[in-house]
Amino acid sequence: MGVLTEVYEMLNTCNKCGGCHTACKTYKLTGQETMVARGRIQLIKAVADGKLEPNQEYEDAIMSCLLCGECAVACANGVRGNELVMAARRDLKLRKGIKPFAKSFALKTLASPKRLGMGFSLFGGMGKSVLNKIDGMDYFRGIDIRNFPTAKKPFLEQVPERITVQHPKHKVGFYVGCFLNYSLDQTAHSVVKVLTKNDCDVIIPKDQVCCGLPQYAYGDFETAKKNARKTIDTFLDKYKDAEVVLSACASCASMLKHDYLKLFADEPSYLPKVELFCEKVVEFSEYMAKIGVDQSQLYNSSPVRVTYHDPCHMIRGLKVTKQPRQLLQMIPRVEFKEMFEAGRCCGAAGLIQAFYHKVSTNITDQKVQNIKDTNADLVATSCPACMLRLQGGINKAGQKQKVMHVADLMANAYKD
């Protein structure tokens, strides 16, 4: 049975009302019917019925979707447009492979720690030196290339496998993820600091790999499964004493907790192990709010105004919204200011920012304006990809706000 056959019934539940138009960022920017869930669903159905061959226009419609999930929230019929797009991407992968080559290469690189580490190392060294000598290379497709941070050494090489405290109350397995390992290593240290300040032993497996989300999002289930199986077996077999598997990346956490169940739905013999793993997964803010934060140690020397951006995978994937705000407001002298459309996509959306950069940049520009309107000094969020995208957009706009992870703000508020 083909991929589109499996979702055919859901394709037919779209009553073409257009309710998704109010939620879809790509439609609001372009005004094109092919750039909204209703239009995309009709195209997918035409391909499923054999009335349309997957041409370039079709591929652009499917590949330009942000997968933000807002259409699913807005749909009165409960049609999950983002999941139908995922099915269409899987179908395209099986028909044609992943194209263009640059996208295929990027996904293979992300899946391999060796390739990814080498890529970040080259970019952080020779790559930036070359770019600094080229006029007009400040921003590549809206991405702030010059200021893109790279760790001098991957976080996993900076820390021991186990970090213990004197009187542990909890034992946490830390799934680090690619960006915290190779780019935002200071944020990874912040996560460990907050955990240890709150009586947690931290287990950090050295042989971690990408969670598989980039590959899964573009239909390469085989590679995604390989990395997912490695992650599950690592945490459940080698580090079974970890009470939870914590991620400080909303995208990784959503993949680990929810999408692994979908990914292995066709493997009933392995599924019980997947379910056990998924039950252990928890996002950083969610976990800290659950175990309770020792606020007596928190300190802040000067007042600061902070706003918060809800990553798509956080608000619609994990449905975690209150906890990061609660943590931020625990910090002394923080004035919290809610921004307009805090839960709307920032424009990162995985590889969308590289391959559909005009759409991505417009979305980022809108978010940056919303940030400016708050008069905030700092922007907090819970996703490394959002952090990088937002900071780049702010820099490009000539604004001064600094983007930080919730864990960074909390760690900075603890006296060493």
State how far the Cα of 25 lies from the Cα of 366, in Å rounded to an integer. Answer: 10
For 372, the domain range is: 293-412
Residue 218 forms part of a structural domain: no
In a domain, 141, yes or no: no
The answer to the question of residue 77 being in a domain is yes
> Which of 216-230, 313-327, 332-346, 350-364 shows the lowest mean pLDDT across its residues?
350-364
Cα(117)–Cα(320) distance, integer angstroms: 31
Q: Is the dihedral of CA 6, 266, 246, 402 positive or negative?
A: negative
Does residue 339 form part of some domain?
Answer: yes
**What are the DSSP calls for 331-353, one per residue?**
STTEEE-PPTTTTS--S-TTTHH
In this prediction, residue 125 carries a pLDDT of: 56
d(CA 136, CA 125): 19
Does residue 234 lie in a domain region?
no
Residue at a domain's end among 96, 114, 146: 96
Q: Decide if 270 is inside a domain.
A: no
CATH number for 11: 1.10.1060.10
> pLDDT value at position 404?
98
Of 70, 96, 122, the position where a domain reaches its end is 96
Q: How far apart are the first and last CA of the chain?
A: 58
Neighbours of 244 (CB within 10 A): 21
In the DSSP assignment, the letter for residue 295 is: G
Q: Does pLDDT of 378 surpass 80? A: yes
Checking if the pLDDT of 266 tops 70, the result is yes
Question: How sure is the predictor about 117, in pLDDT bands with cuts at 50, 70 and 90?
Answer: confident
Task: Tokens for 4, please give them.
Answer: 């589109």
Structural domain contains residue 180: no
Q: What is the mean pLDDT of residues 241-250?
A: 97
Q: What is the mean pLDDT of residues 87-110?
A: 92
Last residue of a domain, one of 42, 74, 96: 96
Q: Is the pLDDT of residue 217 over 90?
A: yes
Structural domain tally of the chain?
2
Q: How much is the pTM?
A: 0.93
> Which residue in 293, 344, 337 sits closest to 315, CA to CA?
344
Sequence-ordered strand ranges (E) for 248-303: 281-283
Confidence band of 325 (pLDDT split at 50, 70, 90): very high
- Is 80 exceeded by the pLDDT of residue 135? no
CA 52 to chain centre: 33
- Please tell me the predicted confidence (pLDDT) of residue 202: 98
Identify the band that residue 416 occupies on the pLDDT scale cut at 50, 70 and 90: confident
Q: Which residue has the tokens 């996703």?
A: 383
* Residue 153 resides in a domain: no
Q: What is the structure's pLDDT at 1?
A: 57
What's the rounded mean pLDDT across residues 364-393?
Answer: 96
C-beta neighbour count of 193 within 10 angstroms? 19
- Domain of 387, CATH number, reads 3.40.50.10700
Indicate whether 134 pLDDT > 80: no
What is the pLDDT of the chain when averaged over all its residues? 92
Task: Return the DSSP state at 297.
Answer: G
CB contact set of 21 (below 8 Å; sequence gap of 6+):
27, 36, 38
Which of 11-15, 199-203, 361-365 tops mean pLDDT? 199-203
Query: Residue 352: what residue type?
Result: I
Cα–Cα distance for residue pair 303/332, rounded to 1 Å:
8
Ranges 120-129, 201-210, 235-244, 321-330: which has the least confidence: 120-129
Structure tokens of 224? 């995604």
pLDDT of the residue at 327: 97
